[in-house]
Amino acid sequence: MRLRNIPRAEGTIQAHHTVIKRPEDQRGCWRQVFGNANPIYIEIGMGKGRFILDMAKKYPDINFVGIERYSSVLLRAVEKYDTEEYNELANVRFVCMDARNVADVFAPGEIEKIYLNFSDPWPKARHAKRRLTSKEFLERYEKILPEGGTIEFKTDNTELFNFSLEQIKEAGWTLQRFTYDLHHHEELNKDNVMTEYEEKFSQKGNPINMLIAVRK
């Protein structure tokens, strides 16, 4: 992924109160970060932050952590938080980090749900291990989710979706629900919160794939 460098991104992120600067220091202590014992959900690869901010607004009794690898992208989420619509939310934090290190940042069972939305498909076969729904990443998620913890994955990329279904099966997870057309699935779409990408793709008529998998 080629991203434009934004010189002010690093300084803005470091100064913002919602950004956790040394997230590994909070491992096992995220309840203290939020100041309550509410469940913690994370989004890996949150992009510009619309989904996680809308979720935090909709579910004030759940704590949310948005993870983004690139500071220039995280900057957009921080700026969105600072708008009048979101700037009073107390149940959201941001982390700039590589998702491969989630087990260094969260303790076993500390996270109840993981959202993966429109992740990079890494189409070349030699890059399959980099896909956020690969067995390698599922093993990382097992280290931070409790038994019965879940991941929810959305994508418009059917090839990646089929790959994900196979990986979940091979990893021994339980596939709870899935659909190849989320917006026409009455039950799964009922409480669906859209991402920026999702809205754009659905307006073009692209069907959205979605699954819910339960940790073994």
User: What are 75-108's pLDDT values in tens digits?
Assistant: 999 999 999 999 999 999 999 999 999 999 999 9
For the segment 17-30, what is each residue's pLDDT rounded down to a tens digit? 999 999 999 999 99
Residue 157's φ and ψ, nearest 5 degrees, are: -90, 100
> pLDDT > 90: what percent of the chain?
89
Q: Which residue has the tokens 């992924």?
A: 1
What integer is the mean pLDDT of 152-162? 97
For the segment 47-56, what is each residue's pLDDT rounded down to a tens digit? 999 999 999 9
DSSP output for 6-74:
-TTHHHHHHH-TTB-SSGGGGTT-HHHHHTS---EEEEES-TTSHHHHHHHHH-TTSEEEEEES-HHHH
Starting from the edge strand earliest in sequence, which strands make up the sheet with 92-96, in order? 92-96, 63-68, 40-44, 113-117, 150-155, 209-214, 174-179
What integer is the mean pLDDT of 5-10? 74
CA-based Rg of the chain, rounded to a whole angstrom? 17
| CATH class of the 26-214 domain in this structure | alpha beta
Q: Which residue has the tokens 């619309």?
A: 50
- Please report, for the chain, the start and end positions of each structural domain, with discontinuous segments joined by +: 26-214
How many angstroms separate the CA atoms of 103 and 140, rounded? Answer: 6
Q: Is the dihedral of CA 152, 90, 144, 10 positive or negative?
A: positive
CA angle at 38 for the pair 111 and 168, rounded to the nearest 5°:
25
Cβ atoms of 141 and 116 within 8 Å: the answer is no
Label residue 1 by pLDDT band (50, 70, 90).
Answer: very low
- Does residue 137 register a pLDDT over 60? yes
Residue 102's φ and ψ, nearest 5 degrees, are: -60, -35
Q: How far from 144 is each of 101, 102, 173, 189, CA to CA, in Å? A: 11, 8, 15, 27
Q: In the prediction, which pLDDT does 38 show?
A: 98
Cβ atoms of 126 and 181 within 8 Å: the answer is no
Among 25, 54, 98, 120, the one annotated catalytic: 120
Cβ atoms of 197 and 117 within 8 Å: the answer is yes
How many angstroms separate the CA atoms of 34 and 19, rounded? Answer: 12
Burial of 84 (C-beta count, 10 Å sphere; 0-12/13-18/19+): exposed
Determine whether 120 is an active site residue.
yes
